[in-house]
Amino acid sequence: MIATTFRYITRYLNIYLIGHKRKAAFVTALGVLLSLASQGGALAQTACPPGLVHHFGLDEKVAGSYTDFVTGASATCTACPEPTASRFGGAQRFTGSGTGLQFGEIKNFQWGPNSNFTIEVWVQVNRKSSNQVIVGRKSSDGLTAWWLGVNPEGYAVFDMQDNYGDPHTMTDYLKAVNLFDGKWHHLAVVREGGPQITKLYVDGFRVDDRRTETREYRGSMESSSPVTIGYIDIDSKYYFDGTIDELLVYNNNLSEQEARDRYNHGAGSYCGPEEIKPEIVSEPITFGTVNQQYKYDVNAAGKPAPRYLLISGPPGMTINAGTGLISWVPQAAGNFAVEVKATNSQGESAPQRFQVNVRAATEEGIGILHHWMLNETSGSNYRDVYTPIDAVAEARSRPASVKGAVGGGQRFNGRDTGLDVIGSPNFDWKAKETFTIELWLRTETKDGSSEAQNQVLIGRHATDSPSQWWLGLDKDRKAAFYLPDIEFKGNFVGSAGPKLNDGAWHQLVAVRDGGSGATRLYVDGVEIASGSFAHEFGFSSRSPVNIGYFDASMLNSYHYEGDMDEVKLFGRALSPEEIRERFTVVYNSLTEIVSFKGRYVNGEGFNQKVVVLDWRTLYELDTDFFEIERSEDGENFAAIGQVKASGTTTAAIDYTFTDDTPLKEQGYYRLRLVRLDGTATYSNVILVQDGSPSASSFRVYPNPAAGGDEVTIEVANLKESEEVTFMVTDASGRQVLRQQVRTDEFGELYLTLPVGVSLKPGIYNLTVAGSNKTLNRKLVVAR
């Protein structure tokens, strides 16, 4: 190890020191050498992961010899590649038709069946119609052979057979990353010898089929043949066409987290001697919402570590110069230009310029990241209110549209329906990240007999790591939340609280407090389970997030059977008080008066008329009584009686009340629903007349509506050319809008109602009152 360190420092000095300064620098370096020797470490390895046994920086500017920073030995060539630029100081360009390197220091490649090793490399690949070998070895004295490279379709491959000729091929079986795109890509192969598992990574994520990861070799991979770079000594040699940089070999197996760290979002984790000008490699976040936190973590390759500068941006936008994290809370909708760059002692990067499209504000407090309302009645996209990242479904897997907890919802059939959220960065939680998931569900699905019959409401089964978190129902149909990270470490919270398959709507909330490590699970505003786990690893994955199922296997995808609505992700921990309030607001609106009618009938007395009122409710929650109110003008109401309510029930309940002393000819009626806690909401207003008005149509669309929409109102079969009253009242009975409008010569009325600041999310009653009839419809303004 001392000799290794000496060779490394000598090379470093030869590169960077000139003239009379060399001697003094050498003395200084020798002191460093002795210090390092006493610590048992080599300078080349101080910034690299443990176990590094070979490191080819491939920075050479002159062809012929390519130094291994660790051993000091060199790879050589007869037909040599050409030096070229890279994001890590320098690289070598291979032509695909004869160029290649040979490396004779083979002791660290004499793997046995239970050996641990890792190979990683950065490449740019050109298209070719045959396999291409980046690095490999073919035994001239046995059957063993192995190679890491690219197949004719442009996907990564690792193939290895032992000296018995037993092969094992790993490939990017899902075709996650095509290497023929002209970009830099990071490849790694990891062999974990104990369990005899081989893993293949592209750009930090596993791409191999985990079902075939195990290969129990009988023999070794020992041989006297050299390792070759850019080809393998078989047949046509399968020459590599492209650029190779930073080839590293370890005598241990990198972990999932280490594989991601080596890729580092495209910036790499360079641990060679060169100092490198920065290059921004991250993709910007180009969307935001008024009054919501915008974040973009700028990443750049470079050595020394780059500093970051926000050249231009909207008011209030800032950047952390050390980490590159851009933060901003937009105050207005629109498109905003941003320009950022990275700098270090070697220079500055090309500026990165992009636009952020900011949507209008919503009623949610700061911290919401996604909101799928699930109001859609057709199509394959399910809109996210806050980002362009819609949930999607193929035609055969679309759920059915139903009435939801708030507006519309979706019904999943428990067999083959489900939605996918593809490409959202907001579910790539870091180890200490805080978040909240909230949704509403309604199901009558039967209990299961085993964990295989769990049902997933939202989750992600990563194909590129062991992470497989999910929120859903256990076999007993109680709430459950499982949160394993990329190293399959985490905890399960749940299997407590009420059974949720009672046919009623329920709020389900999972809160992860990254700072404390606490996980809390809530049902209907009440905490039903909690746990704690200090995650050391994150949850990032290329796999989609699933809604209504869990993409685990062809045999079992844990499909949910029931209705779902209002799926939300927050980038903060909702407090217990917030969760309870959110439950109460939505559930109160679920106590729906699905019909409310009245009619004049003959009473028992001579020439007596009475009014009989009939109504039906659904989803009563802690209801106490109904107070019946009457008015002459539709504005000033007085109580005339009470009917006892049913308390809490999910069943449809019918009620009747008789007004023995009604107003002559006509009267306005409404119901005031009073709950056990004293709170109350109002029904729509109906006009009961002593006669039988002809039927009218009353259309309201879109319904539900969102902020910024324009609601169209169409009413037919009113009196011709008559002045009528149009009113909008909220759930408390407060009048939001009242105006006089006139029907046309056909007795028809056409109105538009902008959903502006005066119509906050909630349920509203629309009333059109003429001389001979009053019509009512409900309008839902979604959050």
pLDDT category, 674, cuts 50, 70, 90? very high
Strand partners for 372? 384, 567
Domains of the chain are: 1-46 (no CATH), 49-273 (2.60.120.200), 278-359 (2.60.40.10), 398-574 (2.60.120.200), 591-692 (2.60.40.10), 693-783 (2.60.40.1930)
pLDDT category, 554, cuts 50, 70, 90? low
SS (H, E, C) 627-647: EEEEECCCCCEEEEEEEECCC
Q: pLDDT tens, 358-367?
A: 998 877 888 9
SS (H, E, C) 178-246: CCCCCCCEEEEEEEECCCCEEEEEECCEECCCHHHCECCCCCCCCCCCCEEECCCCCCCCCCCEEEEEE
Q: How far apart are CA 564 and CA 719, in angstroms?
A: 42
pLDDT category, 758, cuts 50, 70, 90? confident
Confidence check: pLDDT of 21 > 80 = no
Please report the pLDDT score of residue 18 as a whole number.
30
Q: How far apart are CA 101 and CA 682, in angstroms?
A: 82
Please report the pLDDT score of residue 25 as a whole number.
38
Region 563-587 average pLDDT: 94
Closest CA to 120 of 131, 110, 135, 108: 135
Q: How many CA atoms lie within 13 A of 659 on its CB side?
A: 27
Q: How far apart are CA 642 and CA 507, in angstroms?
A: 31
User: pTM for the full model?
Assistant: 0.73
pLDDT category, 606, cuts 50, 70, 90? low
Q: Are 287 and 357 in contact (CB under 8 A)?
A: yes
Q: pLDDT tens, 509-540?
A: 999 999 999 999 999 999 999 999 999 999 99
Please report the pLDDT score of residue 305 as a whole number.
93
Confidence check: pLDDT of 752 > 80 = yes
H or E, element range at 39: helix 21-39
Please report the pLDDT score of residue 381 as a whole number.
96
Residue 408 is encoded by which pair of tokens?
Answer: 């519309």
Strands 455-461, 435-442: parallel, antiparallel or unpaired by DSSP?
unpaired
Region 612-618 average pLDDT: 92
Residues 6+ apart with CB under 8 A from 131: 149, 150, 151, 152, 157, 238
Confidence check: pLDDT of 43 > 60 = no
Please report the pLDDT score of residue 9 as a whole number.
25
Q: How far apart are CA 149 and CA 130, in angstroms?
A: 11
Region 280-297 average pLDDT: 94
Q: Are 524 and 587 in contact (CB under 8 A)?
A: yes
Three-state secondary structure call for residue 464: coil
Confidence check: pLDDT of 223 > 60 = yes
Please report the pLDDT score of residue 3 as a whole number.
30
Region 365-386 average pLDDT: 92
Please report the pLDDT score of residue 4 as a whole number.
30
Q: Which residue has the higher pLDDT, 531 or 706?
A: 531
Q: How far apart are CA 618 and CA 162, in angstroms?
A: 69
Confidence check: pLDDT of 783 > 90 = no
Burial of 664 by CB count in 10 Å (0-12 exposed, 13-18 middle, 19+ buried)? exposed
Q: Which residue has the higher pLDDT, 334 or 618?
A: 334
Region 4-21 average pLDDT: 30
Instruction: Determine which of 32-36, 207-211, 279-283 has the lowest per-residue pLDDT on average.
Output: 32-36
Q: Is the peptide bond before 304 cis (omega within 30 degrees of 0)?
A: yes
Q: How far is CA 188 from the centre of its chain?
A: 25
pLDDT category, 38, cuts 50, 70, 90? very low
Region 36-55 average pLDDT: 61
Please report the pLDDT score of residue 7 as a whole number.
30
pLDDT category, 559, cuts 50, 70, 90? very high
Region 107-131 average pLDDT: 96
Confidence check: pLDDT of 59 > 80 = yes
Please report the pLDDT score of residue 5 as a whole number.
28
DSSP 68: B
Please report the pLDDT score of residue 30 as a whole number.
36
pLDDT category, 28, cuts 50, 70, 90? very low
Q: How far apart are CA 600 and CA 688, in angstroms?
A: 7
